[in-house]
Amino acid sequence: MPEPAPEAQHDRQVLLQQIVSEVHADHGGDDVDVVREALARRIAERGFPEQPQKWVDDTAAEVSQGRHVVVDRELGVDAPLEETAGNAHEKTREES
């Protein structure tokens, strides 16, 4: 099977990160079985290929503990965190 084009691989990673982030937003801290089911359901609903069960289990375990899961560091997921940190810095300066 040929390797997917880099753009297609990137798009799939972005979609998978969106799915994981949505599950975290809706189910972060929930029972691991609830998170696992939600993750598998959203992956299927989006028409995304089934993921390895170990990945689903490990990701669900992290989300059930309230942790954010980064699918691929290359996606630049730090951007929202930097924005949040910047907003906190601005707020601190305003309060001074």
Q: What is the 3-state secondary structure (H, E, C) of the chain?
A: CCCCCHHHHHHHHHHHHHHHHHHHHHHCCCCHHHHHHHHHHHHHHCCCCCCCHHHHHHHHHHHHCCCCCCCCHHHCCHHHHHHHHHHHHHHHHHHC
Average pLDDT of span 7-20:
87
Give the tens place of pLDDT for each residue, 41-54: 999 999 988 899 99
Q: With contact defined as beta carbons under 8 Å apart, do 38 and 23 qualify?
A: yes
Domain boundaries, the chain: 13-95
How far is it, in rounded angstroms, from Cα 3 to Cα 96?
54
For residue 84, pLDDT beyond 50? no
